[in-house]
Chains A and B, each alone.
Chain A
Amino acid sequence: MKGFQSRSDTSGGSFLPEEYLHRKAEVRSIVISFGLFCIVITGIVGAFFVTNREWGTVKVRQEQINREYAVETAKIEQLKALEKQKVEMIDKAEVTTALIEKVPRSILLAELINRMPKELTLNSLELKSTRLDAKPVKIDKRASATSSNRAKASKGGSKSKVPPKEVELEKPKVRPPSYEFKLEIIGLAATDDEIANYQTTLRNCPLLRNVELVFTSAVKVDDVQVRKFRIEASIRTDIDARNIEPLQVPRLPARPTLANGPTITDASEFDPSNQDPTVPNSPVFTGASGRSKE
């Protein structure tokens, strides 16, 4: 600070008047001070402009994001409506598709017959269904009634024109019909091994569950000792067998809706001695002693 006021004595003497030197030093200090002031002010103003510009950019971006957010929020509403529609349509589809038989009886029969061992015949085959309809659900709307409804009702008082039943109960939801199927197979076999084999192959059948052998007993048919048996099973309701290829059926042409797999159409191609479960075997509902109709 001293440097602004006077020159150093060590720099040598001066013939200029002291007052002049003093004023000169003052002017210099004023100029320097003004310069510093200008630098500081410029710095502050510059920083202000930079910050302000950044704020402006951020504000613009914020507005843009807000606009996009509003647009997407509107889309979310649309999405929610679509999801609600989908749930309704799936419910309706469930009710409608429940009418279609998931296990066509032709496929079921093909599976039962073509899994039979060689020396086994069926005497009777019974399929019984039990309908398992759930009771329609009645929703108590009183609990979910809005406050405005309550307010309206209270304003109306005893003169309210809304019938109480309409307020209380919603239209019951339509439920798809559901069934439980039980299968009972009674037949004759040469040995218990054949019966056990048949039960094993039935257990492997994807259409059946709970395959149980109820009894086997010795009976005489045409003076021949054979084993009579009874097998019970349930049909699975959780599978769709419409598009599966049943085990080959030799005596009839392929199902028109199914894939064109190799099918034996000529009876001469049929080899009854072949015991591979994927290959057809003896016909069903023939005599116990092996009296084939073919």
Chain B
Amino acid sequence: MPTALRQAIFFALLIALPVASYFFVFKPQNTQIEKAKKEIEHKQAMLEKLKQATAQADDLARQNEQIGKAIESIEARLPDGKQMDEVLRQVSSLTSKSGLRVPAFKRSDKVLTAGTAMEQPLNIEITGNFDGFYQFLLDLEQLPRITRIPDFSIVRSDEVDGEMMTKLTLSIYYEGSNKDAK
């Protein structure tokens, strides 16, 4: 084989070697690396978002704890039963302290459900002056148990100057079962 041809073949092989290695080794590997890099980039971006989201977990747990405590504090104000004797005693005490009179104190037959608690409406009639009634309301709102006044009617007395008669519905709440509801 002539030397020139041999050398030409050699040089051709010499050039073919890096070209072939590029196409058969490096190019696929580079493609793989690029793909992996893109995946890493994408996951990193996702990871940032996930980290931001999961950073709220502690706050969320704290918020849940606070809500739980708030619920407990309200539920603690719900007695197990109606405790009508206690309510009567408290109303009587508050009205006498405020210089009011209670001509009528009547339990309504209608017991209602109020969310998870039971509601017992009480129909109360109170007479006295406005200052006393206002003081009665202030004191009533300070009672440990939950109460509401959904209805009231205040009418000026025609007989005694400065006197008024109030008819109000005082709803008391307690923990009970739906069986109590009518």
Q: Which residues of A contact B (CB under 8 A)?
A: 1, 4-5, 26, 29, 33, 36-37, 40-41, 43-44, 47-48, 51-52, 54-55, 58-59, 61-62, 65-66, 68-69, 72-73, 75-76, 78-79, 82-83, 85-86, 89-90, 92-93, 95-101, 104-106, 109-110, 113, 121-129, 131, 174-177, 179, 181, 249, 251-252, 255-257, 283-287, 291-293
A86 & B50 in contact (Cβ 8 Å cutoff): no
B50 & A62 in contact (Cβ 8 Å cutoff): no
Binds A, one of B13-21, B83-91, B100-108: B13-21
B67 & A69 in contact (Cβ 8 Å cutoff): no
**B 135-155 binary contact with A (CB < 8 Å = 1; else 0):** 101100110001111111111
Give bound CA distance, A92 to B64, whole Å. 12
Q: Beyond A43-B18, A73-B50, A99-B148, is A82–B156 a contact (Cβ under 8 Å)?
A: no
Q: Which residues of B contact A (CB under 8 A)?
A: 3-4, 7-8, 10, 14, 17-18, 21, 25-26, 29-30, 32-33, 36-37, 39-40, 43-44, 46-47, 50-51, 53-54, 56-57, 60-61, 63-64, 67-68, 70-71, 74-75, 78, 112-117, 119, 129-131, 134-135, 137-138, 141-142, 146-156, 161-164, 173
Q: Beyond A33-B10, A65-B43, A69-B46, is A125–B67 a contact (Cβ under 8 Å)?
A: no
Could you give 21 example pairs across A and B, Cβ below 8 Å?
A29-B3, A51-B25, A51-B33, A58-B33, A62-B39, A72-B47, A79-B56, A89-B67, A92-B71, A92-B116, A97-B74, A99-B78, A105-B137, A105-B141, A127-B152, A131-B112, A177-B119, A251-B134, A285-B130, A285-B162, A285-B163
Give bound CA distance, A208 to B43, whole Å. 54
Other than the known A104-B137, A105-B141, what 14 A-B pairs have Cβ atoms closer than 8 Å? A29-B7, A48-B21, A55-B29, A62-B39, A65-B43, A65-B44, A68-B47, A72-B47, A86-B67, A101-B149, A177-B119, A283-B131, A283-B162, A284-B130
Give bound CA distance, A75 to B54, whole Å. 6
Closest to B50 in A: A72
Give bound CA distance, A128 to B153, whole Å. 8
Q: Beyond A73-B50, A251-B131, A286-B161, is A66–B153 a contact (Cβ under 8 Å)?
A: no
A44 & B115 in contact (Cβ 8 Å cutoff): no
B162 & A75 in contact (Cβ 8 Å cutoff): no
A284: chain B residues within 8 A (beta carbon): 130
Q: B36, B54, B154: which contacts A76 (Cβ < 8 A)?
A: B54
A-B CB pair tally, cutoff 8 Å: 201
A99 & B137 in contact (Cβ 8 Å cutoff): no
A176 & B137 in contact (Cβ 8 Å cutoff): no
Give bound CA distance, A14 to B120, whole Å. 132
Give bound CA distance, A73 to B51, whole Å. 10
Give bound CA distance, A29 to B14, whole Å. 14
B17: chain A residues within 8 A (beta carbon): 40-41, 44
Give bound CA distance, A79 to B36, whole Å. 29
Which 10 residue pairs of A and B lie closest in terms of their CB atoms, listed nearest first?
A293-B162, A95-B115, A129-B150, A72-B50, A75-B54, A106-B137, A125-B154, A285-B164, A82-B60, A126-B153
A69: chain B residues within 8 A (beta carbon): 43, 46-47, 50
Q: Beyond A61-B40, A256-B142, A293-B161, is A99–B153 a contact (Cβ under 8 Å)?
A: no
Give bound CA distance, A293 to B43, whole Å. 79
Give bound CA distance, A98 to B171, whole Å. 13
B68 & A89 in contact (Cβ 8 Å cutoff): yes
A59: chain B residues within 8 A (beta carbon): 36
A86 & B64 in contact (Cβ 8 Å cutoff): yes
B148 & A252 in contact (Cβ 8 Å cutoff): no
Give bound CA distance, A96 to B175, whole Å. 11
Give bound CA distance, A176 to B25, whole Å. 70
Give bound CA distance, A101 to B149, whole Å. 8
A97: chain B residues within 8 A (beta carbon): 70, 74
Q: B14, B37, B60, B117: which contacts A58 (Cβ < 8 A)?
A: B37
Give bound CA distance, A141 to B59, whole Å. 34
